[in-house]
């Protein structure tokens, strides 16, 4: 495991599914906080197992988030419960990169994501 300049552990590569470079806005909110509002973020890559996002919101490893993802060409918003798998702070003022693992996702939404990744569709 690598350590970045802020002494944050950067996880070793452990991906199990193919991943697609993917830059689309997403929204999420912390399910552990009753008064949590939705935050906007930008997805950086996507797989059937989860996604990497870049945001200015610090997150706690293990927290569960409700994620809303609008896949272009899909007529519904993908909703999923995710778990914060890791987070790494970027250079000062640049925010964070965060790995989110899908915990609960409808089969048709996972199938839509799988189709995107298999076709290599990049928006």
The 10s digit of each residue's pLDDT in 51-77 is: 999 988 889 999 999 999 988 777 889
* Tens-level pLDDT at each residue, the chain (123 residues): 444 444 444 454 454 666 677 788 999 999 988 888 999 999 989 989 999 999 888 899 999 999 999 887 778 899 999 999 999 999 888 899 999 999 999 999 999 888 878 877 544
Where along the chain do its domains lie?
A: 2-118
CATH fold of the domain at 2-118: Thrombin, subunit H (2.40.10)
* pTM for the model: 0.79
What kind and span of H or E run contains 21?
strand 20-30
Query: Is 12 exposed, middle or buried, given 0-12, 13-18 or 19+ CB atoms closer than 10 A?
Result: exposed
pLDDT number for residue 80? 96
């Amino acid at each position: 495991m690598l350590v970045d300049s802020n002494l944050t552990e950067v996880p070793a590569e452990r991906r199990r599914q193919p991943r697609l470079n993917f830059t689309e806005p997403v929204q999420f909110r912390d399910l552990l906080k009753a008064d949590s509002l939705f935050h906007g973020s930008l997805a950086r890559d996507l797989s059937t197992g989860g996604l990497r996002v870049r945001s200015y919101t610090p997150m706690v490893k293990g927290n569960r988030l409700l994620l809303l993802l609008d896949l272009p060409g899909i007529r519904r918003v993908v909703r999923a419960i995710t778990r914060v798998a890791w987070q790494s702070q970027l250079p000062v003022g640049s925010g964070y990169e965060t790995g989110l693992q899908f915990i609960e996702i409808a089969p048709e939404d996972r199938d839509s994501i799988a189709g995107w990744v298999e076709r290599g569709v990049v928006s």
